[in-house]
Structure formats: structure tokens, C-alpha cells
Amino acid sequence: MLTADLVRPLLRQRGTELGVEMIAPHDAHWQQTASDLIALFQQRAGSTQHAWEDTVSTYEGERTDYIVIRGLVKVLCDAATFLPQDSPIAPTLLREKLFTQGPAFARPQLFQTKTRQEIIQEIATELGATVEQLEAALFADRAANYILCDVGPGWTSEDLIMRYNLELARGVLYWASEIIIEVASNYKDLWHFIKLCKLMFWAEPMEDGGYHITIDGPISPFVSSTLRYGRQMAVFLPALLLCERWRLLAQVRPPQAQSAMIYRLDHTSTLRSHFKHAGLFDSRLEADFAHDFAQKIGEKRGHWQLRRESDVLLLSDTVMIPDFALVDEQDESRKILIELVGFWHPQYLRRKIEKVRAANCSHLLLLVYKKLNVTEEDFQDTASEVIFFQQKPVMKEVMEVVESMAERVYGPRPAPPRKPPKRRKKDVKQ
């Protein structure tokens, strides 16, 4: 993530609106700069971080756009791996032994007759090492002496620029007090990262589908650890870019602003997420259930359509996203949500039961693995239906319960409209 000093100079104010000056991915100047930095970085593999910083300083020379260069360098370094040098002697132990000798000089002094070289030689003999090994190990645990072991992904100049622009957008949110998001579809990964980053949010469904989500920002009066929370917010943003249709409005107040300003983003932005979409199914159990439904029920054998994670149950401080929704093809308001409960850690299982209880959802069907340490009594105070299964859910039993639930929750299913009979040839007037 970019530090605030690499973002602040690129902020642009236009009335009450705040923007950030990004660089064009196909700009020839920045394409060349990005390409140069990638090549230099790869050449420095195996060198110290200090040597890499010297290389960057030389490359900057007298260029006035050094803020962007340093931002690109930060992106490269964040994706790379720097590790301490291998040392036969722990640097802390070595410094303790050397520094207890007092100040040391190249030549003997009045109160220190031993030279620096003599002291190092004595400690080297004591530890069974060479002077060169001691010199290398003395500050090997300092970041400047870390070795560039892995240069990270195979960057292209365009990739690096796009990632830099994303980091700039993330950086604006460091100064956010409130973030409002409207998301219309494909939001599973978004909810996952909101929960993963432990962001404080309120959500409500929108009339035309999707959700309206309000998130407290790092400088909200309700946030105590602004630095940590700001980083969590930065982690979250790329997940929003995975949604198909969305828009973001943030109230921000950067240091140079006299009052709160508005920062906007939406799905038409050229920003690109480096996150990957989650797989279609989170477990083999879910994949098997979907396959069984397609084979034994399917759209041709019944009036139920199986949809993947199409509904979100909003709870007080979190959300619950059932695995599937069965939707009546004749009336889409008639739906039964399905959650598979199997092979979970006990603590996660307890949390899941708490969510089911809090959801108080009468059209939720739980399919629970029998060998879990739960019984029907654990679900007796929930509004949901429960089926326990041995190896995998029995589709016939599941659909029988689905039909009874639908009738109980929504009433009898109306008869489908009758198709007019086909006219026989002899009925057709000549």
C-alpha cells in the first residue's frame, strides 16, 4: 500500500469534489518509466535493499516526477520478498558482545587501547567465525541489509501502472469518515472482504435489487485505531471492483482540505482489481448438491430453479449468504434458501448456529451433516427447517420439504396458466 506522503501530492480538489491524479496506462513516458523500473528491480535480485534504494535514487536523478517513481517502486517492493541474510551468529547476540566492549576506534585511544579490528578478531575467535562473517552479521537483521529474494509477479509496464492507480484510489480512503456503496450484482466476494476486514457497516436492500451499504471510514469518530482500520479499508477496495455494477461515494477530509469533500468511483472506472473471483463452489459438498439437483430435478423435471448465493440475510453486525436459492419459475417471489452445514470447525459451527438464530428466516432450509456435534435441539429455537443427512442430502427428501415450506410460507402455489389446445387440421377452415 502507498504511504500517505506518496498519495497526498497527487490529490486534486474541484469545489467540494476530491480526485486523485492517476497516470494513463498507455502513456509512452510512463510505459517507459515502468519498464525501466521493472528491469532494474529484476537486475537487483540477490542484492540488499540498501543497494536497490541507491539504484532508484540514481534513476530518479533530477526528475521532478519522483513522487510517481517512488509510488511505482513501492508497488514493486510490496509484491516482492526481502529476507534477512543468513547468518551463523544472531545479530543481536553479536552486537551485545561487541557493544559491551565500549567505544572502539581504528587506532588505540587513551581509554580504549584495543582497536576495533582487534575487538572484532577476539569475538570472532571466541565464536569460531571469521572477521568477514562477523562484519556481515553485525547488522544483518536491519531492513536496509535484507536481501531481495523474490522480485514478485512477472510485471508488465501496464500491469504496474494499473496497480499503482489502484493503490492511489485506496490511498484516498485513508482520510474517509464514511463510505457509501451501492452494489447491484455479483457481490459475494464483496461481502466476504467486508467481513474479513472487520469493517463496521450498515446495509439495506434496494428496491431495484442489490444493496445499499454504509461503512465507517478510518477517521470516523467511532473508529479508535485509525491506522490499522485504514489499512483494512485499503485491503477491502479491490473486492468492490469484482462486482459488475457498483458505485462508491466517500466523505473524505485529507490534511490540505478545509472541510469534508466527496470522492466518487463507479464501475465505469478504468481501475482493475488484482483479486481473483472466488470459485463457483466453496466446497465439494456444494458442487455435489448442484450436480444432483441438475441430474435429478433440473428445470425440465420441476418448477424450481437453483441459483447460486443470490440472497443476503442482513443481521445486526454481519451478514449470512446462503449457499443456494430455489426460485419458483412461475413466481420469483416464492423462494427457499438453502444452507449446507458440513465439516466445519466447532467454533465456526457455533457462530453459524447463532447466525441462523439471528436471521429468524422461515424460508431457510438447513442441510446438516449428521456427524457434526449438533442435534435438532440446537436448532429448535430457530425459524428455519432442518434436514440431517448421512453422506449427502437426499434430493427427493429435500424437495418434499421445500414444497411444504413454500406452501406454509407463501400459500398454495397457483396453478400454471393453461395453454390453449392445438387445433387439429380438420378444425381449420379451408
Distance CA 88, CA 298 (A): 65
Distance CA 100, CA 92 (A): 12
The answer on 162 and 39 residing in a single domain is: yes
Domain extent at residue 339: 284-410
In a domain, 54, yes or no: yes
The answer on 160 and 42 residing in a single domain is: yes
Catalogue the long-range contacts made by 87-90 (C-beta closer than 8 Å, 24 or more residues apart): 87/133, 87/136, 87/137, 87/140, 88/129, 88/133, 88/137, 89/127, 89/129, 89/133, 89/134, 89/137
In a domain, 242, yes or no: yes
In a domain, 404, yes or no: yes
The answer on 165 and 36 residing in a single domain is: yes
The answer on 402 and 319 residing in a single domain is: yes
pTM of the model: 0.73
Return the biggest CA–CA distance within the chain. Answer: 130
Digits of tens for pLDDT over the chain (430 positions)?
899 999 999 999 999 999 999 999 999 999 999 999 999 999 999 999 999 999 999 999 999 999 999 999 999 999 999 998 888 788 988 888 888 888 888 888 878 888 988 888 988 888 888 888 888 889 989 999 999 999 999 999 999 999 999 999 999 988 888 899 999 877 878 887 887 777 878 888 888 778 899 988 655 555 444 656 666 777 788 989 999 889 999 998 888 888 899 999 999 999 999 888 765 666 778 888 888 898 888 766 678 999 876 678 887 667 778 888 899 988 888 999 998 887 666 666 777 788 888 888 999 999 988 888 778 888 888 888 899 998 889 999 999 999 999 999 999 887 766 666 666 655 545 4
Rg (CA), the chain: 31
Cα angle value 388/390/394 (rounded, 5°): 75
168 in Cβ contact with 269 (< 8 Å): no
In a domain, 149, yes or no: no
Contacts of residue 129, Cβ cutoff 8 Å, sequence gap at least 6: 88, 89, 137
Distance CA 181, CA 196 (A): 17
In a domain, 147, yes or no: no
343 in Cβ contact with 361 (< 8 Å): no
Of 71, 106, 140, the residue at which a domain comes to its end is 140
The answer on 293 and 260 residing in a single domain is: no
User: Number of structural domains, the chain?
Assistant: 3
C-alpha cell at 430: 379451408
The answer on 393 and 316 residing in a single domain is: yes
Distance CA 53, CA 73 (A): 9
User: Which residue in the block uniquely carries the three cell numbers 380438420?
Assistant: 426
The answer on 227 and 160 residing in a single domain is: yes
In a domain, 421, yes or no: no
The answer on 403 and 310 residing in a single domain is: yes
The answer on 237 and 188 residing in a single domain is: yes
The answer on 30 and 126 residing in a single domain is: no
The answer on 240 and 174 residing in a single domain is: yes
Question: Which one, of 313, 339, 307, 308, lies nearest residue 204 by Cα?
Answer: 313
In a domain, 131, yes or no: yes
In a domain, 161, yes or no: yes
